[in-house]
Amino acid sequence: MTKKPTKNRAASAKRIRGSKAKAPAENGVAEKLFASITKPLLKGAEVTTARMFGSTCLKISGKVFAVAYKGRLVLKLPAERVETLVNSGRGVLFDPGHGRTSKEWVSVAPETTEAWIKLATDAREFVASGL
């Protein structure tokens, strides 16, 4: 009598969770918009790319200043600037999923390339300043 091989449920679940599922439409828009702002920002000598939250992020001197996450642009900016963006309705405080927000991280919905480049440039300058 031959035994049928049993499926390892944990391994199957891991493959499903780790598989590349199709992203919602807004993720595709944000990813394309993020790609369009990445090229001009990478012209800076110290700007590099890395992976964060499963997406490409931009770093300066090894510190993240911008990332596309869940269909939005996430930036590290001075707390006053974040507050202004939130109060104007352009942004929301960023929560990476653990229920805590940071006063220096903001999440912005897709806008124009020019608007995102301006925000990302401001974030790059803020992070580079070390404040």
SS3 labels along 50-81 = EEECCEEEEEECCEEEEEEECCEEEEECCHHH
Tens of pLDDT, residues 38-77: 888 888 778 988 888 878 899 999 999 999 988 899 999 9
> Domains of the chain (ranges plus CATH)?
23-129 (3.30.1460)
pTM of the prediction?
A: 0.75
Residue 30 or residue 101, greater confidence: 101
Q: Which of 10-14, 66-70, 123-127 has the highest mean pLDDT?
A: 123-127
119: left (phi over 0), alpha (psi -120 to 50) or beta: alpha
- Position 26 scores a pLDDT of 54
Q: Which residues contact 26 (CB under 8 A, 6 or more apart)?
A: 71, 110
Residue 87 or residue 112, greater confidence: 87
